[in-house]
Structures are given as C-alpha cells and as structure tokens.
Amino acid sequence: MQLFHEGLKDLLNINNYISDEDFGFLSIEVPLPEIFKNITTAIPVYAIGLNLRREYRHIAMGIKALNLKTDNILVFEAYNQHLLLLLPLLILTGKKIFIMLHGNQQFAMSSKIKYWGLLYLKLYLNIFKNLKVLLLEIDDDILEPKFQLPEKSKIVVPHPLRNDVTPRLKPGERLKENQKLKIGIVGMIRADKPINKLIEKAQEYINSNPQVELIIGTPIAQKPEYLDESKINIADTTKEEDYLQTLQTIDILLIHYDQERYYYRTSGVISDAASCGCYIVASDYPVIKHQINYPVKIGSTFENFDELQTILEAAVSYVKNHGQDNHWLWREKRTAKHIAHLLSS
C-alpha cells in the first residue's frame, strides 16, 4: 500500500501484534482513473483540480471501507474539507474506525473551510462511539477549546519510527576522534520551512569550528538559485533512497518551521532523521518538543535564532560523547508493536 507519508509505514505491521482483532487500512493515495486525472489537471486553476482529485480519493476510501472484512479500520490520512461523504461511509461499515489526524487541527486555525470540516468531524465523534481519532505525540488540550476534540474520542500515540533504517552507530559506538561532524538541513524548501536564517547561523558556527561541515539535502528541482552561489554541499533528495541516504550521512539535523503551520503538528522529516540516528535541533513547538524527548532525549529545541550557536555547540559535544545510544532507546516506544498495544487496550 502506498502512503502519503512514507514514515508511517510501520503501522501496516500492527496486525502482527494483535491476537483477537485485526485492522484494515485506508490510504489517501488511491489511484485515479486516467481520464479523471487528465480532466482535473487540465483545469486552469490548480487548486480546483487538486481538490477534485482529493474529493475523489476520500470517496474512494469510503467505498473501499464498505468492502473491508476486518474488525477495525485505520484511515492513514483525511482532510477536514473532504469529510462530508467519507464519514457517513465509514460509519456505515459498523466497524471501529480510527482516523489519523496529521495537521488537521493546525490547518483549521487559519482556514474557515478546514475549521468547518473540524466541526463536522467533532459532530460525528460526539454521536458515534466507534469512531476514534489518533493524535500524534501529545493531546490537543494545549489548543483553544474550539479546536479540541471530544475527550473520549482521542487516542494519543507516538509518531512511528521508520523500520527501513537504523542509526549508523551501534550502542556504545562513537565517532572517530578526527572525524568531521555533518550538520544537515534536509527536506523540501517551502515557505513554511524557511532556511535562510538557518544557513546563516549554521555557517557562523562552522566558521569557528573546522571539525564541522554543512550539507543541504533537497529535491534538486526545488533548489533556490541562491544556493548555487554558495559553497555548501548540496545533496539531491528527489528519490526516497537518496533522501534516506542523506539522513544517514549527517549527524545533526537542523530544521525550522513556521509556527503558523507547525505549532501543533508532527514533523515527518524529524521522525525520519531520528530513525536514522540524527541528533535533532528544531523549533520549540509542543509536538516537536515531545517528538524529540519521548521516551528519551535525542535533540534540542530553540526559541530564537540567537540561541543556535550555543545549541549547536552542545549538540556537537553530545554526539561526540554519547553517540546514538539514546536513539536505540527512542525507537522502543515507537514501534508497531508498542502502538498496537495502545490501539487494542
């Protein structure tokens, strides 16, 4: 099954750890009929075609749900604004439904249609007790009440690890004495992931520490032109295998997100990097903070860019002295086995 977020794939294994019931899975990555795809992509306004394709995929998930023979159904992703027909189809199955929310509440804070979709979801959650939502990392009680979901409908689970990668250093293993540490800024370069200030601060630190180098990993087609003028190592992460290889090459992931987009939302890149053994230096938002501190500390957060010099220095020292020992402990509470227990208890 193809998932929108590859880092969630370990959850496809939860049936291996549950004896008395089983899960069927629904993914938003439903193949589109070629004629429908061609028609919607030909629409001059991109957003209209995109939303038509998403609506088709949500309806297709609901129809598929009616044919699943499992006890439970896990919906990997759904968008607030496309729940109108999906929710009644899910309820018609009569099964226990788990919907994973990824950013839905965050996006509802800045979009009316997504907020209305959240209200529609809350209505269903209040009426149907077999409908549950999965919140990643922490409860939503840190949000304004209007964005919170009914208490009895929520199950909090950690963001699963990637089971196709492991930390580079074994427990107890350390980097060689004269080995250069690599700080990486990895992922798609978008408006909600500004990197200019990160590069500036990272280079300031590197200029005073010749034992550290900077790598930027991004899909080459999205690379801003100004990076061509720099002397920074650029890694093309267009392909999934190159993306993971870059994460396994670096020692410290440095990442910053726009608060309006990520205050209450997990980061897939952080989860992927942590699964690869990277020490994480990231924005100080509640969900991300939990992501890199549960069940053990594998990184640090920063509130402003002026802190970065000190935090990077501490991160380099930590990696040298502690290796990736904590990352092996961090993995234990993020496996499909552990999450299966949370869903079946």
Dump pLDDT digits (tens) for 172-185. 999 988 889 999 99
Q: What percent of the chain has pLDDT over 70?
A: 96
Residue in 110, 120, 47 with CA at minimum distance from that of residue 90: 120
CATH classification (class only), 181-331: alpha beta
Q: Which two tokens stand for residue 107?
A: 């996006």
Q: Is the pLDDT of residue 269 over 70?
A: yes
Coil, strand or helix at 257 = coil
Domain ranges for the chain: 6-157, 181-331
Q: Report the pLDDT value the prediction gives residue 298, as an integer from 0 to 100.
A: 98
pTM score: 0.91
Q: Does 139 score more than 80 pLDDT?
A: yes
Residue 153 has pLDDT above 90, yes or no: yes
Q: How confident is the model at residue 192 (pLDDT cuts 50, 70, 90)?
A: low
The CA R_g of the chain, rounded to the nearest whole Å, is: 21
Q: Helix axis angle, 325-332 relative to 268-275, nearest 10°?
A: 120
Q: Quick one: pLDDT band at residue 95, thresholds 50, 70, 90?
A: very high
Q: Is 94 helix (H, G, I), strand (E, B) or coil?
A: coil
- Report the pLDDT averaged over residues 316-332: 96
Q: How far apart are CA 212 and CA 137, in angstroms?
A: 32
Average pLDDT over residues 63-76: 96
More confident residue, 345 or 305: 305
